[in-house]
Amino acid sequence: MEKKNCNPKETSSQKASDKNHLTLKNSLLKAKKGTLSDVKESVEAGCKIVQYREKCKSTGEMIDEAAEIKKICSGRAIFLINDRIDVSLAVDADGVHIGQDDMPIETARKILGANKIIGLTVHNADEAIEAEKSGADYVGLGSIFDTFTKKDAGKGIGPASIREVRNAIKISVVAIGGINKENCRSVIENGADSLVAISAVVCSDDVKKETREFIDIIREIKGTGSSK
Ligand code: TZP
Ligand code: MG
């Protein structure tokens, strides 16, 4: 099947820089055993939230894959869909994660209802305060460190920014971007309720072990015991 062009309006210079980015990203971001295996291993290791983030597949393919992931998460992990409220509705996921330029939170809430989880990406305390006022259930704050996984993530805002956001709002703060086992201490110590680690987990040789090790570090810092 022909590869779908995710952005038909892109210019040729955008295409060239996207190609460089993708080449670099693909060399770094390789899910070694595939998405479903990675989700299964992470959830078995104790991961409590899974977000389906897919930018290129057709809606039908996304729904099929999301339905499989939902089965793996069922009763064990919260399952959120990135960007796509329609896909979230189609598979009856637990909610969505949306960005600053997506549908307003209030509109997403009208569509999804009070019981679904809605998270919003924020980059600073002002956006976090707005997100909370609009009815977001949590904020995804990032990018904390530099990352190759998201092309437009910008420079890392640093772990100290987590403290500012944590102090400004009551809803959960989920830190994202360039987080690995070496720097995740600073993320939790600065007040993140939880963290996202994409490349650190899916590019590892053993997704289950890597997830467990993250969880153990987080629990040790929060004083909530080990995953074993
Ligand atoms: N939003 C901000 S950074 C990022 C997203 C989706 C990617 C994080 O990926 P990684 O591999 O954990 O740096
Ligand atoms: Mg988005």
Give the ligand at the shortest distance from the Cα of 81. Answer: 2
- State the CATH architecture for 35-225: Alpha-Beta Barrel (3.20)
Helix (H) or strand (E) holding 185: helix 184-189
Contacts of residue 167, Cβ cutoff 8 Å, sequence gap at least 6: 125, 191
- Residue 1: predicted pLDDT: 34
Q: Taking the model in full, what pTM does it have?
A: 0.88
In short, whether 153's Cβ falls inside 6 Å of ligand 1 is: yes
Q: Would you list the domain boundaries of the chain?
A: 35-225
pLDDT of residue 17: 46
Is 35 annotated as contributing to ligand binding?
no
Which residue's C-alpha comes closest to atom 6 of ligand 1?
Answer: 150
User: Average pLDDT of the chain?
Assistant: 89
What is the reported pLDDT for 228?
55
Q: Which of 131, 184, 185, 141 is nearest to 162 (CA)?
A: 141
Please report the pLDDT score of residue 102 as a whole number: 94
Ligand 1: which of 28, 98, 147 to mutate, judged by most atoms within 8 Å of the beta carbon? 147
Helix (H) and strand (E) counts in the chain: 10, 7
